[in-house]
Amino acid sequence: MDHIKDLLEKYLQKKEIGKFLSQEKTKEQEIFYNWHKIIGEKYEKFTEPYKIFNKKLFIYVENSVIISELIYEKKKIIEKIKKEFSLSLKDIVFKIRQ
């Protein structure tokens, strides 16, 4: 028996909507999977991307010190994602992990 998710994906693919959604989801998954390559060893332990919405990447960060440091790296991170994953982001939003 098919799960609701599978049925919905099949329906959306028939309507050509699914193609767009699945491409965006795949890029998001690629970015999350390769996060260590994007952010580097220095920040990998202290950060975790958790969603991309409205061309913004949302990242959990361990503390405000790391956020302060990453604010200076924002442009570099956005450019790296654009170059390696062909995804244009407008901004990165940092949130302290609770």
pLDDT digits (tens, 9 = 90+) for 28-66: 899 999 999 999 999 999 999 999 999 999 999 999 999
* Torsion region of 24: left, alpha or beta (phi above 0 gives left; psi -120 to 50 gives alpha): alpha
Predicted model pTM: 0.74
Whether the per-residue pLDDT at 2 is higher than 80: the answer is no
Q: What CATH class is the domain 4-96?
A: alpha beta
Annotated domain spans of the chain? 4-96
> 3-class SS at 61?
strand
As given in the structure block, the two tokens for residue 27 are 């890029």
62 vs 15: which has the higher pLDDT? 62
